[in-house]
Amino acid sequence: MGSAKMTFSLSNPGSGRLPVILMTALLMLWYGCNQKGQSTMESPMSTQIVDIQITEEDNAWNCKISGNRPLTFSAINNLSPTGLLLYFPDTRLEISQSDLPSPVNEIIGFIEAEEYQSGSTADSRILIGLNVARPYRISAAEADTLISFPKVLAKSSEREHRKEPPGTIKMNGAQPETAAASVLQQVTAVPMKDYIIIHLIADGTIRDYRSFSIDNPARIVFDIHNVRSRFSNARTIAIDARWVKRIRYHSYPDKIRLVLDTEQQFLADHFSFGTESGLLIYVGKMPKQIQRSLMSSP
């Protein structure tokens, strides 16, 4: 079987840009069913992560993730700690914590892996912690996925990473050089330990929007103006996470309305900001790095 390669950029949080790239690496995802038609995690054919290794090449450090079959996942830039978060739906983690690699190099600082229950299935996530922000390339062959981080940046990338001191985050689309969004392409969600990240993926930065909450039933609502959805009908995403149970969005003549079905205790625990690739919404406990940025903002 041939291999597929994809290249992405992991922005330094200090660069004032927070692009988030959500990517499905392979399209094979198998759901086991028991005799009652329910998904089961005990099937011998369930998707599993069976090995994680750190390897070195002349020009790059690599993280190789192996499965018992091709893996389906999303990748998102993690703000704090800096790194790349990989989310594997309906995938079991068949690696003990003691078997996780302990990298000691200038690029990859640590590896965290966790399996957690999501409804009736088990999902897994892997965080590749980085000592320094780096672009990355993802390639897949058979059941192996390789994430490569270059040891040395190109000169243009180095200048870009030095534009602002580390730790600086510009919020709410404060990058005037990025184009304004016109089309909403997709909505995705990644549950974390203390919050959930919802990414509205568009063809530019989503700036013209407002949010409000409704008590009964508990909902967080975003009205997005001057952007149209590529879907003509209403869309629903079942999440069933602690912070958000369901995401619904629909186009109207003058706006897109996005509704997050949540619990009353989380109605005030949400914040959002525009990115190069659309809009990020966090529900739950705010990451410490963003807390520091907001506290230091004039």
Residue 163 in 3-state DSSP? Answer: coil
Residue 86 in 3-state DSSP? Answer: strand
Q: Are 152 and 230 members of one domain?
A: no
More confident residue, 77 or 230: 230
Give me the percent of the chain exceeding a pLDDT of 70: 71
Does residue 247 lie within any of the structural domains?
A: yes
Q: What is the mean pLDDT of residues 250-260?
A: 94
pLDDT tens, position by position, 1-30: 455 545 454 444 444 444 443 333 333 333
Q: Are 153 and 14 members of one domain?
A: yes
Given this model, what pLDDT does residue 73 score?
76
Q: Are 36 and 107 members of one domain?
A: yes
Does residue 192 lie within any of the structural domains?
A: yes
Q: Are 8 and 52 members of one domain?
A: yes
203: DSSP letter? S
Does residue 71 lie within any of the structural domains?
A: yes
Q: Give the whole-angstrom CA distance, residue 205 versus residue 211.
A: 16
More confident residue, 28 or 84: 84
pLDDT tens, position by position, 88-101: 878 899 999 899 99
Q: Are 231 and 134 members of one domain?
A: no
Does the pLDDT value for residue 80 go beyond 70? no
Structure confidence at residue 287 as a pLDDT band (50, 70, 90)? low
Does residue 273 lie within any of the structural domains?
A: yes
Does the pLDDT value for residue 213 go beyond 90? yes
Does residue 174 lie within any of the structural domains?
A: no
By mean pLDDT, which of 102-106, 167-171, 202-206 is the weakest? 167-171
Which range of residues forms the domain containing residue 108?
Answer: 4-161
Q: What is the mean pLDDT of residues 210-239?
A: 92
Q: Give the whole-angstrom CA distance, residue 196 versus residue 277.
A: 18
Does residue 170 lie within any of the structural domains?
A: no
- CATH number assigned to the domain comprising residue 192: 2.60.40.3500
Q: Give the whole-angstrom CA distance, residue 147 versus residue 136.
A: 7
pLDDT tens, position by position, 104-161: 799 999 999 988 776 667 888 899 999 988 888 888 888 999 999 999 875 444 444 4
Q: Are 84 and 147 in contact (CB under 8 A)?
A: yes
Does the pLDDT value for residue 177 go beyond 60? no
- Report the domain count for the chain: 2
Nearest-5° Cα angle at 211, 206 to 215: 155
Structure confidence at residue 33 as a pLDDT band (50, 70, 90)? very low
| Most distant pair of Cα atoms in the chain: their distance | 60
H or E element in which residue 278 lies: strand 278-284
Average pLDDT score, the chain: 76
